[in-house]
Amino acid sequence: MSGILVVGAGGHAKVVIATLLAAGETVEGLLDDQPSRWGSMVLGYPVLGSLEQLEKPDSRAILAIGNNRVRQTLSERYPEMAWVSAVHPNSVVHSSVRLGAGSVIFAGAVVQPDTTIGNHVIVNTAATVDHDCVLEDYVHIAPGTHLAGQVRLEQGAFLGIGSAAAPGVRVGAWATVGAGSVVIRDLPPHCVAVGVPARPRQAKDQP
Ligand SMILES: CC(=O)SCCNC(=O)CCNC(=O)[C@H](O)C(C)(C)COP(=O)(O)OP(=O)(O)OC[C@H]1O[C@@H](n2cnc3c(N)ncnc32)[C@H](O)[C@@H]1OP(=O)(O)O
């Protein structure tokens, strides 16, 4: 079977490649729609060209782009793709956890029992997700984020570095929680919420 195509050649792709290699996978190269990146190397792997190469039959690929909207757009553009997930061997993921296609769990992360993780979700470095949480498709929890039990993050929610969510809270779809903020009450969709406790600052979608 051919190696994995890594989509996106930015900083997030470096950590995705490191995670794939640590998990024993083979990387073929990277794809990026920015021509200036073609022919360059990322961690010793070549940027092979544009995303058109995803149309080759039997390709296996992973979306290595931190922006939640971009991952949604690309996954919808290639509905037949066999998206690969990546789980770092130095993470702890309980056997009862359901993990969707194309999702990544980076080094040092812990995901506790009966949590459900959707498609193209990022559980970033050293984040923790406690029991019975639900992370819907395209969610990203940044490094060092901590979710208590039974937290629900709706589609596309982004939680910034070092943020936290108290037991049972719900963060609305495409909401942004600022770095270091603590969610203690439900947040509405499409808000930007910051502070301790996190309060919606304005109605604004993610970039
Ligand atoms: C491996 C990786 O790198 S993964 C990526 C991790 N990235 C992150 O964690 C980024 C998180 N981003 C943030 O926290 C950002 O500050 C955001 C998204 C919440 C807001 O960004 P912007 O809309 O550009 O806000 P801006 O910088 O203009 O600040 C607006 C106000 O909110 C305040 N504010 C912004 N972020 C925060 C925060 N995290 N906590 C408290 N207050 C904040 C600012 O101090 C400012 O207040 P003022 O108007 O009284 O001066």
Separation of alpha carbons 34 and 54, rounded Å: 15
Residue where a domain terminates, one of 83, 100, 131: 83
Q: Which residue, by CA, sits nearest to atom 44 of ligand 1? A: 194
Pair 41, 76 in one domain: yes
Residue of 194, 202, 204 to mutate, ligand 1, most atoms within 8 A of C-beta:
194
Pair 59, 122 in one domain: no
CA 182 to ligand 1 centroid distance, Å? 13
Positive or negative, the Cα torsion across 53, 56, 62, 63? Answer: positive
Helix (H) or strand (E) holding 152: strand 152-153
Pair 98, 177 in one domain: yes
Residue where a domain terminates, one of 34, 59, 83: 83
Residues facing residue 27 across a β-bridge: 4
Whether 78 is covered by a domain: the verdict is yes
> Could you tell me if the CB of 200 is within 6 A of ligand 1?
no
**DSSP string for 90-131:** TSEE-TT-EE-TT-EE-TT-EE-TT-EE-TT-EE-TT-EE-T
Pair 40, 109 in one domain: no
Separation of alpha carbons 112 and 130, rounded Å: 5
Whether 207 is covered by a domain: the verdict is no
Whether 178 is covered by a domain: the verdict is yes
> Could you tell me if the CB of 107 is within 6 A of ligand 1?
no
Q: Which residue, by CA, sits nearest to atom 18 of ligand 1? A: 178
Closest atom, ligand 1, to C-alpha of 202: 23
CA 165 to ligand 1 centroid distance, Å? 17
Burial class (CB in 10 A: 0-12, 13-18, 19+), 178: middle
Pair 107, 193 in one domain: yes
Task: Say whether pLDDT at 206 is over 80.
Answer: no
- Look-up of token digits 């757009």: 73
Per this entry, what is the length of the chain? 207
Q: Which residue, by CA, sits nearest to atom 17 of ligand 1? A: 178
> Could you tell me if the CB of 144 is within 6 A of ligand 1?
no
Q: What angle do CA 182, 145, 143 make, to 5 degrees?
A: 140
How many separate domains does the chain show? Answer: 2
Separation of alpha carbons 6 and 113, rounded Å: 29
Q: Which residues are catalytic?
A: 131
Pair 74, 92 in one domain: no
Whether 36 is covered by a domain: the verdict is yes
Asked if the ipTM is above 0.90, the reply is: yes
Pair 195, 129 in one domain: yes
Whether 9 is covered by a domain: the verdict is yes
The model's pLDDT over 151-205, given as tens digits with 9 standing for 90+, comes to: 999 999 999 999 999 999 999 999 999 999 999 999 999 999 999 999 998 655 5
pLDDT at 58: 85
Give residues with Cβ within 8 angstroms of 95, minimum separation 6: none
Query: Residue 106 sits in which domain range?
Result: 86-201
The model's pLDDT over 96-118, given as tens digits with 9 standing for 90+, comes to: 999 999 999 999 999 999 999 99
Tell how strand 128-129 and strand 199-203 pair up. unpaired
- CATH classification at residue 22: 3.40.50.20
Pair 61, 99 in one domain: no
Pair 124, 70 in one domain: no
Residue where a domain terminates, one of 28, 63, 83: 83
Pair 35, 99 in one domain: no
The amino acid present at 186, given as its one-letter code, is D
The model's pLDDT over 42-71, given as tens digits with 9 standing for 90+, comes to: 999 999 999 999 988 888 999 999 999 999
- CATH classification at residue 131: 2.160.10.10
Pair 48, 144 in one domain: no
Pair 93, 8 in one domain: no
